[in-house]
Amino acid sequence: MNELIQTVLIYALPVIFAITLYEAARGYMARHFGDTTAQAQGRLSFNPMVHIDPLGTIVIPVVLYLGTNGAFLFGYAKPMPINYGQLRDPKKNLKWIALSGPAANFAMGFAWLLLSLILMSMKVEESFFLQMAQAGVWTNLAMFAFHLIPIPPLAGGQILLSLLPHQMAYKFAKIEPYCFFIVMGLALLRMLQYWMLPLMVAGEAILRILITPLLLLLS
C-alpha cells in the first residue's frame, strides 16, 4: 500500500503540470492569433489550479494507472475555451494552436530531464525526487505522443484538419464525436502502443541529443 501511495505521489505533479501546461499553451497561442476568449474567462494562466478538472485531472488518471498497472495513463484538464471565429485565419491558425500543446509537453519533458541531470550532478540521494523527474520526462512524452494521434479533436487530428482541403476536412471532422470511443477501443486492443511508443522513443532520443552539451559540461 505504501508503495502504491508513493507511486501516485511521484506521478501527481508531472501529470497535473503536463495536462495543464498543454491547455495553457493552446490558450496563449490562440490569443496570439486574435482570440481573447481564454483571457476574458481567466484561463490564460500557467497556474494548474485554473485548469484542473477534478475528474479528468485527478480521478481518471489514478483509476487508469491502478486499473492497468501503469500500462495506460490518460487524463485531461478543463477544455481551453477557444472561439475560432475570432482568429485572423481560423484554418491556418488551427494547426499552430493544435501544435502548441504537444510542443509544450515536449518542452516540459526537456525541463524534467534537465532537472534529473541537475539532481544527479548535485548527488541528491533521495530517490523520490529522481523518480519524479524521470516520471516527468515519460509523462510528457506520453502526452506529446497521445495528443498527436490524428483523430479530432486531438491535436494531431486538428493539424490534419488544418492541412486538408475544405471539403475533405469537413468530412473528416465528422468523426470528432466518436474520438473517445475510438481511442478507448485502440487502447483496449493494445493498438495505441504502435503509435505512441515510436513517438515516445524518438522524442526521448531528441531530448538526449538536446541535453548532450550540458552533459559534456558536467562531465
Q: Are 65 and 1 in contact (CB under 8 A)?
A: no
CA dihedral 12, 15, 18, 24 (to 10 degrees): -80
User: What's the confidence (pLDDT) of residue 94?
Assistant: 94
One pLDDT digit (tens) per residue for the chain, 219 residues = 577 677 778 888 898 889 889 999 999 999 999 999 999 998 888 888 888 887 777 777 766 666 656 556 666 778 888 998 999 999 999 999 999 999 999 999 999 999 998 888 888 777 889 999 999 999 999 999 999 999 999 999 999 999 999 999 999 999 999 988 898 888 888 888 899 999 999 999 999 999 998 877 766
User: What's the confidence (pLDDT) of residue 206?
Assistant: 96
* Residue-wise DSSP of 41-104: TT---S-HHHH--IIIIIIHHHHHHHHTTTS------SPP---GGGSSSHHHHHHHHHHHHHHH
User: What's the confidence (pLDDT) of residue 73?
Assistant: 62
User: What's the confidence (pLDDT) of residue 75?
Assistant: 67
Q: What percent of the chain has pLDDT over 70?
A: 91
∠ CA 183-61-49 to the nearest 5 degrees? 115
What is the maximum span of the chain, computed from C-alpha positions, in angstroms? 58
User: What's the confidence (pLDDT) of residue 72?
Assistant: 60
How does pLDDT run across 125-145, given as a tens digit for each residue?
778 899 999 999 999 999 999
The radius of gyration of the chain's CA atoms, rounded to the nearest angstrom, is 18
Amino acid letter for position 209: I
**Closest C-alpha among 80, 70, 4 to residue 43:** 80
- The SS3 assignment for 114 reads helix
Q: Are 24 and 48 in contact (CB under 8 A)?
A: no
User: What's the confidence (pLDDT) of residue 64?
Assistant: 66
User: What's the confidence (pLDDT) of residue 150?
Assistant: 95
